[in-house]
Structure 1
């Protein structure tokens, strides 16, 4: 059973990244189609983003839930947590792809930020619904088990007890998917900071954030990094700025970067 659990974890992790790739392809196709008919910078694109995001989350979750049950025959608390974590990753990764695509629509930054945040909320609500269905033995419209599925309420929240200590030194695998996702998110954030004319703060604060994100990226290029040093650099932007300014493209990019780091290294901003 231990081998099967390890295999399940690896499979769910890869499925999450495959889902993100599928989402990116779907969003790019939608944008090309709308651009071809002259309505890229319109509400049609934003509505399409939401439709595609929810479709992919639904399809990928149902497939993964069925896979888990077929593999293990029954589901206990540990397996339920793995499935719940997978559902969380779906939300984070699909939303991350939306954040990357959003600026390419040509729609006003404030509008994009607001609508992408609404889509994220819709994804979170759908996540909660499919997890509730799974807890009651359902995947989509199909009953998957009659009596072996246990409740997974609240297992999709991160537990501080499982988080790495803030002074922990971690080894960086530069070939890992987590590193690539984090580097991509930080790169997008750094370029967004440099190019934005809509930064809600003093110019000196913007320059400071650019320097700190750049320094964090350099830290992550090393073979090992101290979590406390990384958190000290990024917390003012990824936590404090996002909390203060929600309806802003930079805040959206910062939130996406924070989600990528959280998924990769755990809760480092306590």
Structure 2
């Protein structure tokens, strides 16, 4: 299958984000039971109106923010059609409708999840705020031309966000080490503790690669937060995620 998203993360365009959003929305709709016989009909208008949002400026004035234009949604649908992931229903004097198959869309999305640097993977890891900000940067031509995996960023040890991230890792470490209500073996506990120690070492350096921060540090704390079922760990992980996200 042809890759949906630029594997090398060198020149993402708005259309790449649109394709990832379309695939994810199809997956969500299927999960919510909105499909009939594993298929559903969409139009570009549906996404244009459903996936925009209202925001407020610094003075409290309401503004309607358009994530993607109607033309950009149309182009994204057509790109998925050209790759055989969804079908198109074209009739004279009517807008094109798109026939989405849940299994095909999910297969394409899962393929992207296998690449840790794809838009789909980063969106899943970093959340909706990362997506909105990234689309905005892409549209403004502010995206870095250097691949994320090759970038090195400075770590400001005096910033509040940095201090909160390091403190969060320390607290997670203590919790994993001392908690008796976590269902893990002694070997697994030692593994998690070693990974947390390594994560802190990465943050103690004056600079670090985005690749290591995302692929290792962020994934270590997020895995622990997600699998140990403790709300407190989830809140601590958010501080680490927020700091690393601010560097990307």
Tell whether the structures are fold-level matches, with TM greater than 0.5: no
Larger strand share, 1 or 2: 2
Q: TM-score, normalised by structure 1?
A: 0.38
- Structure with bigger gyration radius: 2
The structure where helix makes up a greater share of residues is 1
Return the TM-score normalized by structure 2. Answer: 0.41
